Amino acid sequence: MSSGVKQRLSEFYSTISDDLDRSVEFWLKHSVDEEQGGFFQCLDADGEVYDTTKYTWLLSRQVWTFARLYQDMDRFRLPNILEVAKKGAEFVMKHVKNPENSKCYFSLTREGQPIKIQRTIFSECFYVLAMSEMYRVLKEDIYKKEAMAMMKQIVHWVRVDNSGLGIPLVPPKATSSLGVPMMLLCLIDQMETMDPAHGANFNDLADWCIARVLKHVQRNGTVVLETVSEDGEEVGGSAGRLMNPGHVIEAGWFLLERAGKSGNEELQKTALETFMLEAFHRGWDTEHGGILYFVDVDGRPPAQLEWDMKLWWPHNEAMIAFLKAYKHTSDEKYLEKFAQVFDYSYQHFADTQKGEWFGYLSREGQVKINAKGGPWKGCFHVPRSLMMCEQLLHEILQTQ
C-alpha cells in the first residue's frame, strides 16, 4: 500500500467516524418517543417530527442498529445507547407482531395500533434482526426464542406455503424477486452472528438462497434483474427488464460474505464482477454522478417516475460493497469505486451540520425531500454503512 493510499484511507476513516457520531446523535436526540415508546421516523432536516406514524421496518432496524452499536463498537457501549435499544425492542415486541399468526404489521399509529399489513416477509425479517441482535447484547432467552420462531415461520412462508402472508385478489404468477433470497442471506448471517453455535444449520438454506439469487443473473452476466420466472427466465415487459443497481450491489456484498465463509471462489468472482462492477457500471450516472435508482436494461421507458433520482441507500450499500471487495482482493480498482461513491455522497447526501444524510436527490443532485427520515428511511442504512466502513477501514489500516 502506497503512502498516498494509506493517507486516503485515514481520511476516509476520520470522515466516516465523525459522520457516524453525528448520525447516532441525530437519531438519539430526535427519534425517541419518550411518551409512547418506540421511534419516530418522519423527521425533517432539523429533526422535527412531521408525521407520528411508526413504520415497523424502521422500528426494528433502529433496535438492531442501536444494539449493534452497543455490542460491537467500544465508543457506543454506553447506557443511553442500550436504553434506546431496550425500549425500542419492548415497543416492537408489544406492537409489531400479531401473536395469532406471527404476521407483522407494516405501520402503526404513534400509540402502536395497526394501520397496514403488507403481503411480504420484510416486516417479519426486520423483526428477526431486532430480536437476534438484542439476544447478542442481553443474552435473554426471550429474544432468541422470538428470533428463532420468526425465522422458522419466514422460511416456511418462502419455501413451503405462502398462503399465510395473505392471498391477493388475483393470485400472482409465481416469479422470483431478488429481494427475498437476498433478505434471507442477510438473516442467515445475522443468526450465525447471534449464535456461532449454529454452525452448519443454515447451510442448506444458504445454498438455496444463493442458487435463487444467481437465477437473476441474465444475458451472460451483464445484467441482474429484479424479477425473473421461477425457472430463471426473463419475464419480459417493464417489470421483467427492471434493474435496481443499488440492490444488486448490496446483494454483491451479501454473496461475497457467503463466498468468504464457504471458500467458494467462483461465487466470489461473480459477486465482485457481476454484482458489483457490472451493476455499478450500469447504474452510475456518468453525466451527473451518483447511482440511478432504477434502470430498464434495454433503455426502454421505466415505469417508475423516480427512476433517475439518487437515493441514499444504494450509496451506503456501494460503500460497504467496494470496501469489502478491496479488503478481500487488495485490488485498488475497488478502492477507486469506493472513493467515487464516498465523494459523491459527502458532496450531496451528508448533512455535516445537523447530522444524518438526506435521502432523496434529483438526478442533478439537489435535495428533493428536505427530510432525514420518512416512511422508508430511518435509522439504518446510514449508520450501518458507516459502522461497517469504519470497522473495515480500521482492519485494512491495521493489517498494512
Residue 62 in contact with residue 31, Cβ under 8 Å? yes
Binding to a second copy by residue 306, rule CB under 8 A? yes
CA angle 178, 181, 183 (to 5 degrees): 95
Q: Specify the residue, 222 or 304, whose C-beta has the smaller distance to a second copy.
A: 304
Binding to a second copy by residue 370, rule CB under 8 A? yes
Closest CB 170 distance from a second copy, rounded Å: 5
Closest CB 218 distance from a second copy, rounded Å: 18
Residue 204 buriedness (CB in 10 A; 0-12 / 13-18 / 19+): exposed
Binding to a second copy by residue 164, rule CB under 8 A? no
Residue 279 in contact with residue 224, Cβ under 8 Å? yes
Closest CB 380 distance from a second copy, rounded Å: 18
Mark 78-107 with x for binding to a second copy (rule: CB under 8 A) and - for no binding. -------------------------x-x--
Binding to a second copy by residue 52, rule CB under 8 A? yes
- From candidates 117, 155, 235, 297, binder to a second copy by CB under 8 A: 117
Binding to a second copy by residue 237, rule CB under 8 A? yes
Q: Specify the residue, 168 or 263, whose C-beta has the smaller distance to a second copy.
A: 168
Residue 394 in contact with residue 72, Cβ under 8 Å? no
Mark 283-302 with x for binding to a second copy (rule: CB under 8 A) and - for no binding. -----------------xxx
Please tell me what DSSP assigns to residue 271.
I
Binding to a second copy by residue 308, rule CB under 8 A? yes
Size of the site for a second copy (CB under 8 A): 38
Of 157, 162, 151, nearest to 202 (Cα)?
151
Interacting stretch for a second copy, rule CB under 8 A, among 123-131, 133-141, 164-172, 197-205? 164-172
Binding to a second copy by residue 360, rule CB under 8 A? yes
Q: Specify the residue, 4 or 301, whose C-beta has the smaller distance to a second copy.
A: 301
For residue 287, give the C-alpha cell: 453525466
Closest CB 12 distance from a second copy, rounded Å: 30
Closest CB 317 distance from a second copy, rounded Å: 19
Please tell me what DSSP assigns to residue 108.
E
User: Going by C-beta distance under 8 Å and a sequence separation of 6 or more, which residues neighbour residue 267?
Assistant: 210, 255, 258, 259
Binding to a second copy by residue 362, rule CB under 8 A? yes
- From candidates 82, 309, 382, 386, binder to a second copy by CB under 8 A: 309
Residue 257 in contact with residue 267, Cβ under 8 Å? no
Of 53, 64, 144, nearest to 105 (Cα)?
53
C-alpha of 146 from chain center: 21
User: Going by C-beta distance under 8 Å and a sequence separation of 6 or more, which residues neighbour residue 7?
Assistant: none
Binding to a second copy by residue 368, rule CB under 8 A? yes
Residue 112 in contact with residue 37, Cβ under 8 Å? yes
- From candidates 4, 79, 168, 199, binder to a second copy by CB under 8 A: 168
Phi then psi for 359, rounded to 5 degrees?
Answer: -105, -25
Cross-strand pairs, 218: 223
Q: Specify the residue, 221 or 237, whose C-beta has the smaller distance to a second copy.
A: 237
Site for a second copy in 238-257 (CB under 8 A): 238
Binding to a second copy by residue 169, rule CB under 8 A? yes
How many other CB atoms are found less than 10 A from the CB of residue 232? 14
Binding to a second copy by residue 116, rule CB under 8 A? yes
Cα distance between residue 354 and residue 26, in whole Å: 8
Residue 341 in contact with residue 322, Cβ under 8 Å? yes
* Interface residues toward a second copy, by CB under 8 A: 42, 44, 50-53, 103, 105, 114-117, 119, 166, 168-170, 172, 237-238, 300-303, 305-309, 360, 362-363, 368-371, 374-375
